[in-house]
Structure 1
């Protein structure tokens, strides 16, 4: 079976706080490290009351220090929000402290609303206010790692810490744009099926077919990020999923409220139109007992030719959330969980 990993948005629940959500992230990372999960990635979001993850590079260092075998990385750093030199320096520091355990995943979106994006984006495309300069920033980031062309003024600037290279690079996306770009420059690719409006097969297969080996990577590595919830029975998993489904309904209306409790989700007066929207979105949330979920995810991974699955589980009850990852790990045959 291919590796399983974790994507954590540090969800804020209705009965908790953002500070507690960050501590829950640390606890979950220790938990899945013992279970045999491969990576643990942190996302970057700003000014959203339902997630507590504006600075993944800080959490990466905390989690890497608190775990033993996990690769820890960004899922991702939203590059338009940052100066490429700062990204290069911060991830070199992480790589120096935890050699061979850090990943640098990059995203193109701002990870927030338009007004906050304006506050974050101090540098804009020349001649186009608010323009997309992602490609320019990506090229500059690669130059900071591999060296600038002769005569470039930035070539005289040393990058600290010296003698340390950037960790492995992944481009992240929910469409075919990042897939094509990742294939072109020869780096890893992560597709966000958990919120994408398009099927994963096209971008995932296209990335693999068009991959061109470079110094960034000799072969393609495609990660599929999926929303999944596991419980002892199919019925219990469906019950736990009610919080995530209600949260999705609200998010589609522009309501970024904390993750509702299960009691709130069960008592919510769903309109018929809302029930229909939930049914239409079932393919984006994979739910079931261990064997049910294992079979469904294995079939999906084979169909889209994924090298790795990255699981995001929006469950407000932290004990149930940890148990969801544990049950899936055992069904998948991971590390210590398989022996147990």
Structure 2
């Protein structure tokens, strides 16, 4: 039997050690180090934004973005129900109200045709979240935001190197955010980035991540911020990763194509769309959704694969089905059947950048055995 194949293993065989050693040799290990500024500048250039503000993870990037945009108690923010808890949590922590939309059954992104009906006089923003490999169709969303005077928060956490109509994901929101968790195309272990073209939003985010220290009176505070700072060590790893982004994107697409080639003959499995008319799939993860003819759900499928020494991870659980939000009296009477089905019948198989073609074949063979 083969060794266990984890759901993700990062690829760290570039200049990561060289840059980390430079941090150690020079003593620059905190957020004051030169790699931080270099990484921010280079990342902003890659994404096509004026400002990039590094933070300690992608979740707090959303927290800071919500506050910087002035979203507050009683405001409504529209978001996909099928996403990670960080998106809903950032809205709720600000005292705002999450308003959810269902998913598109083909791309697994938010169903943009449902957004306009959710807009009310209390709506302040649309939070767009690009899911798993294909971007949201942004043009109609931006048109709606312009029509109703709404801000757009773009969560591009999973979209490093992806484009929408040949323009970088992360370049569309009033504020956009990224994550550098180990399963992302660029990792810093933990870490995140806020990007924007707005000088005021950028200044606010920089202040919020650094406890709202004041330039002249450092320890006298007019506002409360957080310590969301990003270290020089993290930035050193991130810079080494960023240098290889094009290579990583190409590698991911090849992995996705190989999985599709090996799995396309199995009935009862919905595989990721290879492309839409505005983007080719970047295959951040390789997701599978079980059709109703399969007599078991994702949880049982994942257990069967675990017994075959294959790591998996479930799809996101819907925001409107989160117990914590129900305890708060939020999202209690929502129905989003597409997203509910994705959450119960979807999961993803090993997708990390270090995955070899031999391992992909082993995973595909295991999938064939259980189906």
With structure 1 as the length reference, what TM-score do the two structures score? Answer: 0.32
With structure 2 as the length reference, what TM-score do the two structures score? Answer: 0.30
Task: Answer with 1 or 2: which has the greater Rg.
Answer: 2
Structure with higher RCO (Cα < 8 A, 6+ apart): 2
